[in-house]
C-alpha cells in the first residue's frame, strides 16, 4: 500500500479536490449562475490551477473530457452518485467499477459516498468494501464522502455526527474523509481526531462570500484538516482563479483568510 | 474507444433511429393503425431507407428478422424494456446481455432505458453501468433512452427535467441521449448544452401530422440536436418513405420543415 | 441457431406438448379423476403416442422417470414453476438450470413461464433472458408459457392480452409461445400475427368434452396456430389414446373436429 | 447418478435418520428433558445404533463431533436451518455449502428444508435447486424436509397438504421426502403415491409414548413409507436404545408396534 | 483444521480479546471518558499487555495502525459491523472480506456478529457461512459475536436466550462464542454447556467498577467460560494495565476477584 502522501492527489500532505458532479447530483440548474460551466471543459480548465490536486467527476464526464486534460489534471473518479430526482431513502448508484476507472480511464484516485444512518447504509458500506479492497489492489487512494443522512438524522451538521462520519471513514478503510464543516475549529478538531491517520477535508458546500468561505477553510486547517473538496464555491464565481489563489495560500502556505485576500 | 462519429449508426454526425419495440412496450395495439406493421418485416423494410442509420428492436425480433436485413440495416439492440402490463414503479427488465447482442446477433449499437426519479433509478443505473462498461470492451456505442418518470415526477416534459435527463446521459457515460422534445428550440438547447459531447436526439412520440412533426425535428436540429429516434411517427403512416425523405432533408441537409415538405 | 423446424419436438412444423407438471403447479388433487395418473409412468406411457412431440415435466420427474422413456419420448424440461400454496404475486421458482437440463438429463427443449403484468414480471423476464441465451448456446429451443397474470390484469383471456402475451414471446426471444385460447379463431389469429415467426400453441386448460376441446384446437390451427400444449384434457380421460388420435388428425392432417371424431 | 438404494444411508431400501438440529431450530430448551443430550456426543453415541442409517446435524456440530464418529455413523448434513428467534415468514438460512459438506466434512447425504406456501417458498426452491444440482455432481443423495408452512396454510397436517409436500419433493428432485405423518395409513398412502419413486419418511415430531409412536411408524410403513426421521422421540427418552430396537423391528423387519414392544 | 488451542489468540486454552470497534458501533462519544483513546494507537498500546491474546478492530483501523504493532499484538479482524446511526432492524455490514483480512492485513483470527431474532438473521447467517467456510480454507479461527436482538426479543439477557446464542455459535460453526453475561454462574454454565466444544467468552459490556466486573469474569470462568472480550471496561479506565493484571490473574491463573485485586 503506497503511502497516501506519495499520491499525486496530495501536495505537501494537503488536498484540494475540485468537484464537478453537480450535473448528476443536483441537475443542470447548478450551472445557471455561470452558464458556461454547463460545459465541463470550462471547469476542467479551472482544474488546471496549481492549487487543485484532483478533479472529481463521474465516469461519463471523465470519458468525454479527461483525455484532453490528463497531462494537467489528476483524476478522482467518483464511483457512485445519483440524481436528486430520486425520492427514496438516501442512496447512491455505483456508476463506475474500480477496474474501469483505473485501467480504462486512468483514475489517480477514487471517491465513494456513504450515507451513514440511511436505510441504505449497510448496502452502501458493502459496496464501499468491494471498491476499497479493489482500490488497494490497484494501489489507488480512496476518498469517502462521509455524509450521515436519512431516517433518524435530525441534524447532519451536529458536531458529534460529523466526528462520527470522520470515524466511519477511518474504521471502514478510507484514506481521505470528506465531511461537512461542523461550524467551528473546535468541532472540526473532534472530527480530525476521530479520523486518526485518515486525512479530513471539509466540503465546500453552497456558494458563500469569499471571506466567510476562506475563514471556514482557515478554521478547518487550524483544526488539523488537510484541505478542501469544493465545487460551487469555486466555479460559481466569475473569476475562479482568484479564489483558487487564495485557497492555495490558506491550504498550502498556512495563510489566514485575511492574508489570502490581501495578496 | 472508437469516436462515435465513426460508428455505422452515425451519418455526417447525425442519427436517425427507427425504433420498433412497441410490441413489447405498448402491446400489439400500436400496430392497429397500419395492421401489416404487426409483421416486423414490414418495419425492417422501412428501415432500409437511407435516412435510417439504425433500427432499434428487442432481442427476439432481432434474432428472428435481422438475419434477412443485416446487409441493409444497422442493428441497435435495445437491451432493456418491459410491457405496459407492468403496474409497479417504472422499471425495465434487462432482456439481452451485451455479449449476446454483439457476439451472437451482430449489434452495431446498444440501447438502454433509464427512468430517472423512479424508485428503480438506482438499480437501473447500476445495470446501465455494467452494460456500458461491457459495451466499451466491444467498442460499440451506447444510446440512453433517458426518461425521468415515476414517484416525484410531476411533469416529464418540464424543460429542466429534460435537460437533467440529457445531463444524466453524459454523466453516466452514454454516447447518445434520447430525450423527449421539451417544447421549444430554446428548451432543447438547454438539453443539448447539458449533454456536452453526448449527442442528443429527440424521441418521435405518438403520431402527429407531417408538418407539426417535421417542425419539431427542425427545432431540435436548430438547437444543436443530432437527430431523431422515431417509431410510430414513421411506420404508423401509410407511406413511411415520404416522411423519411422529408426527415432526411431536415436532419442531414438542414432543410426547414416547409422545404422538406415541398420537395 | 438450428431452425426450430429441425427440432425433434416439431413434426411437420407442428407441435403437441403433453404437459405433466400439475403435481407441482396444482397439487396431487389434479390426479384424482384418474387416480393412476399420480404415477408419472402412466402419463409417460401416454406420451409415447406418435402425436406427442414432447413431454413437459419438472426436473425431479424427469430425473426419476425419463431414463425409461428416452427412446420414445422427447423431453421438454420445464425450467420454472411453483406450487399453488404460494400466496404472493404470481411468480415461479427456477427449479432447473439450463446446463443441468441439457447436459445431465438430456432435454430436447426447455420451457419457461412468464407472468406478464405480475409484480414479478421484470425478475422473471431477466431469469428468462439468462435461460434463453444459455439455451441458444446449447442449440435447444425455448418454449414460453406466456401467461399475463397478477396485479392489474382483470381478464387474462381478453384477446388483446393474449395477443400481447404472444408478442412478448417474440420480443423476448422464445421459439414457441404457449398462450391461452382467446375464444375464437379471429382472436387467435391476432395472437398468431403478433407472434410473427414464433410458433403459437394453445394451452389445453381444464378438462372439457371431446367435441368442444377439438373444436378449439381446430380453431387454433385454422388461425395459424401450430399446435397444442395439453395436460388434463388428455390424461384426465379414461382413454387418452382416443383423444390423441383425434388431435393427431386435427393438428397434423388438418381434419375438422367432426372428421377427427368420426374416424 | 448412483441409485439411492446403494447409498450408505439406506438399509434394505429403508431409512432411519436420527436428527439433532434442535439446538438451532428450537433452542437448548429441547435438551432439558434429558439434560445430558445438550452434549452432542451423547446423541452421536445413540446414533451408532444399527437401526440408524444417518445422523442429521448442522455444520458446526458436524465439524466439532463427527470426526470422532465417522467410522460408526453416516453423516447427513442439514444444509439450511434457522433459529426460532426468527419472527419473519418461515425461512431457513443456508448454513453450509454442498462443496464444504461433502469435500471438507465428509457428508454421506444432504438435507434441505422447503417451506411450501411461505412467502419465501420461491427463494427456498431456488436455493434447493443449486444445492440439488451440486449434490448430483458429488453423487450424494438429497433429503427434503418438505414442510408447507406460512401465509395461507391453515392446517399443515391436512392430508392433501402432506401429499402435496411429498409431490414437491418428487417434482423438484429430492431422493427422500421427510413429511409430517398425516394421521392415518390411508392418508400416508396418498403422500407415498404422490411422491412416486421418491422415498417418503415420516418425521418423528414431539415426544409421545412408545406405543402411540410405534403405531404411527407401523402405519407409515404399511402405507409404503420407507422409514423415519426422528429426534426428540428417541433422544428425549431415558433409554433410547430400547426405542431404537423397537423401531428397527418395525422399519426393517415389518413388525407391528405390539410385536416390537413385546420383544 | 488446526485445533483452536493451537491458535495464537488462545493462551492455555483461554482468551482475552481487547475490542476497539466502538468508533464504528457507538461513535466517537465512547472515547470521551478517556479522550486520548480516540487515537487507536493508545488502545493498541494497551493491547500489548501479555493478558491480551488478540485485538479486535475493523479493517480501516487495522490497515492504518496494525503494521506498527504486528510483532506485539495478534489481530482479530472484525468482519462486519455498523454504526448506531442505523435505524433499521439490527444488521451489520460486511466491511472486510476474509481474503483481504488474512492475506493483505495479516489477521490471526476473524470476528462476525450474528443478531439472532433480527429480521436480518437469515441474511447474516448466510454471510457468516461464506466467511466461516473461507476462514477454514485459511485455517484461521472464527469468533461469533452472538447477540440475539431485534423483533421479538424482549430480553436479550434472558438465560435461555444467552444459551440459545451460544448454541447458535456451535451449530453454525464458530470456534469461539462471545455472549453477554447472563447474570449468574449457573446461567453462564447453561450457555457453556449449550456451546459444546465451542469456547464461550463473556462480553465486557459498559464500564462498571473493578470488583463488580472482575466478579462477573470470575463467575464466567467458574462456569466453564474461557475468557472475555472486553473494550470499555479496560480502555475507559485511567490505568488499563491494572485491570489487565487483575484479569490475567482471574482468567489464566484461576484467581478470585478478591485475590486479583489484592495483588
CB contact under 8 A, E172 and D95: yes
Which residue, chain included where needed, has cell 464511483?
A79
Instruction: Name residues whose C-beta falls within 8 Å of residue E151's C-beta, 6 or more positions apart in sequence.
Output: D87, D88, E89, E117, E118, E119
Catalytic, E147? Answer yes
Which of A91-100, A152-161, C121-130, C157-166 has the weakest average pLDDT? Answer: A152-161
The CA distance from E107 to the nearest CA of chain D, in Å, is 22
What string of pLDDT tens digits covers the 263 residues of chain A?
678 999 999 999 999 999 999 999 999 999 999 999 999 999 999 999 999 999 999 999 999 999 999 999 999 999 999 999 999 999 999 999 999 999 999 999 999 999 999 999 999 999 999 999 999 999 999 999 999 999 878 777 799 999 999 999 999 999 999 999 999 999 999 999 999 999 999 998 888 899 999 999 999 999 999 999 999 999 999 999 999 999 999 999 999 999 999 98
Give the Cα separation of E125 and E144 in Å (integer): 11
Joined grid coordinates for residue B159: 424543460
**Looking at residue B206, what is its pLDDT?**
85
The pTM of this model reads: 0.94
Q: How many CB atoms lie within 10 A of CB B89?
A: 15
Look at residues E12, E42, E11 and name the one whose alpha carbon lies nearest to residue E239: E42
pLDDT digits (tens, 9 = 90+) for B2-49: 789 999 999 999 999 999 999 999 999 999 999 999 999 999 999 999
- Decide: helix, strand or coil at residue E46: helix
Q: How many CB atoms lie within 10 A of CB B138?
A: 14
Rg for chain B, CA atoms, rounded: 17
Q: Quick check: B155 pLDDT over 80?
A: no
Strand E142-146 relative to strand E109-114, pairing: parallel
Joined grid coordinates for residue C211: 367435441
Joined grid coordinates for residue E10: 488462545
The CA distance from C185 to the nearest CA of chain B, in Å, is 17
**Looking at residue A126, what is its pLDDT?**
97
CB contact under 8 A, A164 and E83: yes
E strand residue ranges, chain B: 15-19, 54-57, 75-78, 80-81, 93-94, 109-114, 142-146, 176-179, 199-203, 227-230
Residue of B nearest to A42 (CA): B196
Look at residues A79, A154, A170 and name the one whose alpha carbon lies nearest to residue A117: A154
**Looking at residue A18, what is its pLDDT?**
98
pLDDT digits (tens, 9 = 90+) for B76-130: 999 999 999 999 999 999 999 999 999 999 999 999 999 999 999 999 999 999 9
DSSP 8-state symbol, D100: I
Partners of D129 on chain C (C-beta within 8 Å) are 59, 93-97
Contact D79, D111 (CB under 8 A): yes
**Contact present, D and B (at least 3 Cβ pairs less than 8 Å):** no
Joined grid coordinates for residue C200: 403459437
Joined grid coordinates for residue B151: 414517484
SS (H, E, C) C90-103: CCCEECCCHHHHHH
**Looking at residue E240, what is its pLDDT?**
96
Max Cα–Cα distance, chain D, nearest Å: 47
Share of residues in chain B with pLDDT > 70 (%): 100
Give the Cα separation of D51 and D48 in Å (integer): 8
Dihedral sign, CA of B184, B187, B191, B196?
positive
CB contact under 8 A, D174 and C60: yes
| Interface-testing mutation among E133, E165, E167, with chain D (most D C-beta atoms within 10 A) | E167
- Residue tagged active-site, from A65, A115, A147, A181: A147
Angle between helix C159-172 and helix C121-138 axes, rounded to 10 deg: 50
Contact A216, A193 (CB under 8 A): no
**DSSP β-bridge partners for residue E145:** E113, E178
pLDDT digits (tens, 9 = 90+) for D20-48: 999 999 999 999 999 999 999 999 999 99
Residues on chain B bordering chain C, Cβ-to-Cβ distance under 8 angstroms: 21, 23-24, 27-29, 31, 38-40, 58-61, 63-65, 81-83, 85-88, 91-97, 100, 104
| Interface-testing mutation among A137, A167, A191, A199, with chain E (most E C-beta atoms within 10 A) | A167
CB contact under 8 A, B59 and C170: no
| Facing D160 at nearest CB: one of C29, C59, C94 | C29
The CA distance from A88 to the nearest CA of chain B, in Å, is 6
Phi, psi of C73 (to 5 degrees): -135, 140
The CA distance from E235 to the nearest CA of chain D, in Å, is 33
Dihedral sign, CA of E107, A148, B168, B223?
negative
Dihedral sign, CA of B162, B163, B169, B172?
negative
Q: Which chains touch E (3 or more CB pairs under 8 A)?
A: A, D
- If you count them, how many residues does chain B have? 263
| Facing B152 at nearest CB: one of A63, A85, A91 | A85
**Looking at residue D189, what is its pLDDT?**
97
| Facing D28 at nearest CB: one of E121, E125, E194 | E194
Instruction: Name residues whose C-beta falls within 8 Å of residue A32's C-beta, 6 or more positions apart in sequence.
Output: none
Residue of E nearest to A194 (CA): E38
| Facing B190 at nearest CB: one of A28, A81, A94 | A28
Work out the burial of residue B13: count CB atoms within 10 Å of its CB; fewer than 13 is exposed, 13-18 middle, 19 or more buried. exposed
Residue of A nearest to B189 (CA): A38
What string of pLDDT tens digits covers the 263 residues of chain E?
678 999 999 999 999 999 999 999 999 999 999 999 999 999 999 999 999 999 999 999 999 999 999 999 999 999 999 999 999 999 999 999 999 999 999 999 999 999 999 999 999 999 999 999 999 999 999 999 999 999 878 777 799 999 999 999 999 999 999 999 999 999 999 999 999 999 999 998 888 899 999 999 999 999 999 999 999 999 999 999 999 999 999 999 999 999 999 97
Residue B35 to residues B30, B42, B237, C192, C193: CA-CA distances in angstroms? 9, 10, 11, 13, 10
**Looking at residue E155, what is its pLDDT?**
72
* CB neighbour burial string for C53-91, b if at least 16 within 10 angstroms, e if fewer: bbbbbbbbbbbbbbeebeeebbbbbbbbbbbebbebebb
| Facing B83 at nearest CB: one of C116, C126, C197 | C116
Contact B128, B172 (CB under 8 A): yes
Contact A188, A161 (CB under 8 A): no
**Contact present, E and A (at least 3 Cβ pairs less than 8 Å):** yes
Instruction: Name residues whose C-beta falls within 8 Å of residue B163's C-beta, 6 or more positions apart in sequence.
Output: A27, A28, B182, B187, B190, B191, B193, B194
- Residue tagged active-site, from A14, A78, A178, A199: A178
| Mean pLDDT in residue range B205-211 | 89
CB contact under 8 A, D60 and E170: yes
Contact D219, D181 (CB under 8 A): yes
Q: How many CB atoms lie within 10 A of CB C104?
A: 17
| Facing C95 at nearest CB: one of D129, D151, D161 | D129
Instruction: Name residues whose C-beta falls within 8 Å of residue C222's C-beta, 6 or more positions apart in sequence.
Output: C185
CB contact under 8 A, B23 and C152: no
The CA distance from A253 to the nearest CA of chain E, in Å, is 27
| Facing B167 at nearest CB: one of A23, A64, A93 | A23
User: Apex CA E80: angle with CA E74 and CA E83, to 5°?
Assistant: 115
Max Cα–Cα distance, chain C, nearest Å: 47
Look at residues C76, C92, C73, C74 and name the one whose alpha carbon lies nearest to residue C84: C92
| Facing B60 at nearest CB: one of C163, C164, C170 | C170
**Contact present, D and A (at least 3 Cβ pairs less than 8 Å):** no
Joined grid coordinates for residue C119: 409484480
**Looking at residue A76, what is its pLDDT?**
98
Joined grid coordinates for residue D59: 455444520
pLDDT digits (tens, 9 = 90+) for B220-247: 999 999 999 999 999 999 999 999 999 9
Q: Quick check: C50 pLDDT over 90?
A: yes
Strand E109-114 relative to strand E75-78, pairing: parallel
CB contact under 8 A, A122 and E29: no
CB contact under 8 A, D27 and E167: yes
Partners of A59 on chain B (C-beta within 8 Å) are 129, 171-173
pLDDT digits (tens, 9 = 90+) for B40-89: 999 999 999 999 999 999 999 999 999 999 999 999 999 999 999 999 99
Residue of A nearest to B121 (CA): A86
CB contact under 8 A, B27 and C133: no
Give the Cα separation of B26 and C127 in Å (integer): 22
CB contact under 8 A, D194 and C23: yes
DSSP annotation string for C109-169: EEEEEE-TTSTTHHHHHHHHHHHHHHHHHHT--EEEEE---STT-S-TT-HHHHHHHHHHH
Partners of D1 on chain C (C-beta within 8 Å) are 63
Phi, psi of A233 (to 5 degrees): -70, -5
CB contact under 8 A, B190 and A27: no
**DSSP β-bridge partners for residue D179:** D202
- Residue tagged active-site, from E178, E180, E199, E226: E178
pLDDT digits (tens, 9 = 90+) for D60-83: 999 999 999 999 999 999 999 999
CB contact under 8 A, C95 and D153: no
CB contact under 8 A, C23 and D170: yes
SS (H, E, C) chain C: CCCHHHCCCCECCEEEEEECCHHHHCCHHHHCCCHHHHCHHHHHHHHCCCCCCEEEECHHHHHHHHHHCCCCCCEEEECEECCCCCCCCCCCEECCCHHHHHHHCCCCEEEEEECCCCCCHHHHHHHHHHHHHHHHHHCCCEEEEECCCCCCCCCCCCHHHHHHHHHHHHHHCCCEEEECCCCCHHHHHHHHHHHCCCEEEEECCCCCCHHHHHHHHHHHHHCCCCEEEECHHHHCCCCHHHHHHHHHHHHHCCCCHHHHHHC
Joined grid coordinates for residue C207: 378438462
Give the Cα separation of B29 and A207 in Å (integer): 52
Joined grid coordinates for residue D166: 411429498
Partners of D123 on chain C (C-beta within 8 Å) are 93
Q: Which CATH architecture has domain B15-262?
A: Alpha-Beta Barrel (3.20)
Dihedral sign, CA of A211, A21, A4, E77?
positive
Q: Which residues of D are catalytic?
A: 147, 178
Instruction: Name residues whose C-beta falls within 8 Å of residue C230's C-beta, 6 or more positions apart in sequence.
Output: C16, C17, C18, C19, C203, C204, C247
| Interface-testing mutation among C45, C69, C93, with chain D (most D C-beta atoms within 10 A) | C93
Look at residues D50, D75, D45 and name the one whose alpha carbon lies nearest to residue D63: D75
SS (H, E, C) B26-57: CCHHHHCCCHHHHCHHHHHHHHCCCCCCEEEE
Strand B75-78 relative to strand C109-114, pairing: unpaired
Give the Cα separation of C76 and C101 in Å (integer): 9
Give the Cα separation of C254 and B177 in Å (integer): 52
Amino acid at each position: 500500500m503506497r503511502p497516501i502522501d506519495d499520491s499525486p492527489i496530495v501536495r505537501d500532505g494537503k488536498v484540494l479536490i475540485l468537484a464537478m458532479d453537480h450535473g448528476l447530483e443536483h441537475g443542470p440548474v447548478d450551472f445557471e449562475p455561470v452558464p458556461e460551466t454547463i460545459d465541463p471543459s470550462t471547469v476542467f480548465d479551472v482544474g488546471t490551477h496549481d492549487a487543485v490536486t484532483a478533479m472529481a467527476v463521474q465516469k461519463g464526464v471523465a470519458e468525454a473530457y479527461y483525455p484532453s486534460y490528463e497531462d494537467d489534471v489528476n483524476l478522482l473518479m467518483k464511483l457512485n452518485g445519483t440524481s436528486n430526482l430520486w425520492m427514496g431513502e438516501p442512496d447512491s448508484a455505483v456508476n463506475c467499477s474500480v477496474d474501469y476507472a483505473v485501467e480504462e480511464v486512468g483514475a489517480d484516485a477514487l471517491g465513494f459516498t456513504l450515507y451513514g444512518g440511511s436505510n441504505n447504509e449497510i448496502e452502501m458500506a458493502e459496496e464501499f468494501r468491494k471498491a476499497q479492497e479493489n482500490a488497494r489492489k490497484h494501489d489507488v487512494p480512496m476518498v469517502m464522502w462521509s455524509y450521515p443522512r436519512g431516517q433518524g438524522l435530525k441534524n447532519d451538521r451536529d458536531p458529534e455526527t460529523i466526528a462520527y462520519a470522520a470515524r466511519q471513514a477511518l474504521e471502514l478503510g478510507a484514506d481521505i474523509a470528506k465531511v461537512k464543516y461542523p461550524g467551528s475549529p473546535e468541532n472540526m478538531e473532534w472530527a480530525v481526531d476521530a479520523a486518526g491517520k485518515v486525512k479530513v477535508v471539509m466540503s465546500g458546500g453552497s456558494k458563500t462570500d469569499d471571506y466567510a468561505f476562506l475563514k471556514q477553510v482557515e478554521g478547518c486547517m487550524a483544526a488539523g484538516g488537510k484541505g478542501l473538496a469544493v465545487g460551487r464555491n469555486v466555479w460559481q464565481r466569475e473569476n475562479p482563479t482568484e479564489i483558487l489563489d487564495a485557497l492555495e495560500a490558506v491550504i498550502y502556505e498556512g495563510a489566514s483568510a485575511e492574508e489570502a485576500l490581501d495578496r
